[in-house]
Structure 1
Amino acid sequence: MQIIVNGKQVPLTDQVRTIRDLLDSYQLMEKIVVVEQNGTIIERSLYENQTIADGDRIEIVHFVGGG
Structure 2
Amino acid sequence: MAITVNGEKKELIGKLTVAKLLEAHQLRPELTVVQLNEGIVPKGEYAGQLISDGDRID
TM, length-normalised to structure 2: 0.88
Q: Once superposed, which parts of structure 1, at least 4 consecutive aligned residues long, lie more than 2 Å away?
A: none
Which one has the bigger strand percentage? 1
Percent identity over paired residues: 40
Whole-Å separation in 2 of the counterparts to 1:4 and 1:18: 14
User: What does residue 20 of structure 2 align with?
Assistant: 21
Which amino acid is 1:58 matched to? I
Which one has the bigger helix percentage? 2
Which amino acid is 1:28 matched to? L
User: What does residue 45 of structure 1 align with?
Assistant: 44
Any idea what the Cα deviations from partners look like across 1:6-64, whole Å, max 9, x if unmatched?
A: 111011232x51000100110113551110001100011000000000010000xxxxx
User: What does residue 2 of structure 2 align with?
Assistant: 2
| RMSD of aligned residue pairs (Cα, Å) | 1.5
Q: Which has the higher contact order (CA 8 A, sep 6+)?
A: 2
Structure 1 gaps of 5+ residues are 60-67
Structure whose alpha-carbon radius of gyration is higher: 1
Structure 2 gaps of 5+ residues are none
